[in-house]
Structure 1
Amino acid sequence: MLGLILVTLAGVIAIAWIATGPLRARKRRQALSAITFPAPWRAILKRRVAAYGRLPDHLQQELRRKILIFLGEKQFIGCNGFVITDEVRLTIAAQACLLLLNRQTDFYPDLRQILVYPNAFYVERSEKDAAGVVWERHALLAGESWSQGQVLLSWHDIEEDCAHPHDGYNVILHEFAHQLDQEDGQIDGAPALPSKERYQRWSRIMQQEYDALCTAAARGDATLFDYYGATEPAEFFAVITEVFFTRANDFSQQHHALYQELAAYYRLDPAVWN
C-alpha cells in the first residue's frame, strides 16, 4: 500500500511540475531580465554588434533584457580548445536575440547548446547520388543548426562578420534563422506564422523570389542574395534574413515585397534605423 501511495504521489508531483512549467519559466525569465546589465558588456555590444548602435533606445533596452535571458538559459561550449569568454557569449547572444525583438518568443525552445569552434569545422555528410549510392564526405562549415538542440559556429567567421557588418553575410543570423524555421516542426523556409492567410502570402512571395534567385544563380547574374540561398527554401530564408539585418536599405529598394514580408514576420524595419 505504501509503495502504491508513493508511486501515486510521485505521479501527482510530476504532473504538477509539468503543469506549472510555463509559470516557473516566466518567473525565471523575469528574474533574469531584471539583472543589471554590466557596463563592460555594453562596451562589447557597441564594439562587436553594429546593429546595436543603430537600434532605437527602447529596442536596445529590450535586446539587453533578452540577452540576459538567453545567457541564463543556453549553454556555451568551446570546441577544439576554444575558450568561451564574455565577448564570445555576448557577441553571439546579441545577434541571436536580434531576431527575437518586438515579438513574443520562447527563446529558441529547442536549443540547448551553442558549440563554438576557433575556425571553420568539418562535419560528416551522407549524400545519395542518382544511382542511389550513398556517399560519405566531410564538409567544411562556418556554422550549422541542428534540430537536436545545438548550433555550431566558427568564431573566426563571426569575427569576419563583425568586421564587415554591411556585406550581407552573418553566420549567427543565418543559423539562428534556421532555428526559427524549425519551431513549427519543419525546416522548410516557412517559420511559424499566425494565420492561413499569412502562410499563403508568405508562400507566394517567397516562391517568386526563390525562383528568381535560382534563375540568377543558373545564369550567373548579379544578385543581392548569395547563390547559396538557391540551394533550397530553408537556406533561402536564412540567406535573406542575413541581408534583411545587414543590408536593409538595398533589400527594401530591390525586393520591396519580400522585405515587407520579413518586416511583418520580424516586426522590425531595419531600413529606418540610423
Structure 2
Amino acid sequence: MLGFFKERRRKAVRGRPFPPAWEGILSENVPYFGRLAPEDQDELRGLVLIFLDEKRFEGCGGLDVDDEIRVTIAAQACILLLNRASDVYPDLEVVLVYPSTYVDRRPRTIEGGIVVEDGETRLGESWGRGVVVLAWDAVLRGAADVRDGHNVVLHEFAHQLDTEDGAADGAPVLPKRAAYGPWARVLGAAYDGLLRDLASGDRTVIDSYGAKNPAEFFAVVTEAFFERPRALRARHPALYEQMRDFYQQDPAELSC
C-alpha cells in the first residue's frame, strides 16, 4: 500500500513543469545531458524532480545551497538511474555540500586496531547512514570535463547503489540472480588485472584508487564507463558489457 502511494506521488511530481532556470543549469553545468537522446533527457528531468522533492541538501563550511548546486548534483546522480528500475536512492536522506575540499575528522581505525583522529582531506564521501558528502568545486570540475575519467558525484552515488543491499562489496543489486555469477567473474578478473598493472607500472584506463577494494573498484569503473567509455570498451570489453547491462546505457555510442 505504501508503495502505491509513493508511486502515485512520484507520478504527480514527474508531471510538474521543469523550471526553465533548471534547464539552463543542466545545459551549463552538465554537458553529458546534451549528449543524451531526447527521450533520455525527458526521463532525466523527471528523475531530477523526484530527487529534489525527496532529498534534503545542507550547506557546510558556510556554503549557501541554491538551485544551481541542487540541480547540478541531482542531475549527475540521476544519470546512474536512467533506463533502470530504481527507487531513486531509497536509503539517501541528505546531501551535505562543502564549498571545496574538506577535512573528515571522524575517528578511524588503522592497522593494529589503533583509533586515530588526524583528519583526512576529501572531495566526497558516501556514508552508510543516508548521507552523501560532496565538495562543490569538485562537483563542477567533474561535470565540466566528461572525458577525464573523474566525477565525484558519479563515484559517490555508485557507492549508494552498491550499498542498497546492505553491503559495500562492489556488487550492487542486479536485476536477476543469474547475473551475479558473471558479474563476480568479470569484475573480479578486472580488479586482479588492475592490481597486476599497477604492480608492473603499466598504464591503466581504470583509476588506481580502484585497487583499494572491490567497492572502490566499482565506483571508479562507473566513472570510467561514463567518462572514458571508448577506452574502457577497447581495453576491457567484458567489463564494459557488464556495466552496460547494469546501467542500461551505452555511452561509448553517444556522440561526442
* TM-score, structure 2 as length reference: 0.96
CA contact (8 A) 2:77 2:157 kept: yes
**Which residue is 2:201 aligned to?**
220
Mapping for residues 13-28 of structure 1, pairs under 5 Å: 20-28=1-9
- Which of 124, 129, 132 does residue 151 from structure 1 map onto? 132
Deviation at 1:202, TM superposition (A): 0.3
**Identical positions, percent:** 46
Q: Which runs of 4+ in 1 moved over 6 A?
A: none
CA contact (8 A) 2:164 2:173 kept: yes
Instruction: Determine whether 1:76 maps to 2:86.
Output: no
CA contact (8 A) 2:59 2:98 kept: yes
Deviation at 1:196, TM superposition (A): 3.1
Mapped to 2, the partners of 1:143 and 1:99 lie a distance apart of 17
- Which of 63, 67, 70 does residue 89 from structure 1 map onto? 70
Q: Which runs of 5+ in 1 are unaligned?
A: 1-19
Mapping for residues 1-274 of structure 1, pairs under 5 Å: 20-123=1-104, 124-129=106-111, 131-274=112-255
Mapped to 2, the partners of 1:68 and 1:85 lie a distance apart of 15
State the secondary structure of the residue aligned to 1:92: helix
State the secondary structure of the residue aligned to 2:150: coil
State the secondary structure of the residue aligned to 2:119: strand
Mapped to 1, the partners of 2:198 and 2:148 lie a distance apart of 19
CA contact (8 A) 2:25 2:68 kept: yes
Return 195-204 or 233-242, whichever deviates more.
Answer: 195-204
1:22-55 CA-to-partner distances (Å, cap 9, x unmatched) read 1111111011100011112111101111110000
1:218-245 CA-to-partner distances (Å, cap 9, x unmatched) read 2332101110000000000000001111
Query: In terms of Rg, which structure is larger?
Result: 1
Return 236-245 or 215-224, whichever deviates more.
Answer: 215-224
Mapped to 2, the partners of 1:252 and 1:76 lie a distance apart of 35
CA contact (8 A) 1:145 1:176 kept: yes
CA contact (8 A) 1:158 1:171 kept: yes
Aligned-residue Cα RMSD (Å) equals: 1.1
CA contact (8 A) 2:107 2:115 kept: no
Deviation at 1:210, TM superposition (A): 0.2
Deviation at 1:197, TM superposition (A): 2.1
* TM-score, structure 1 as length reference: 0.90
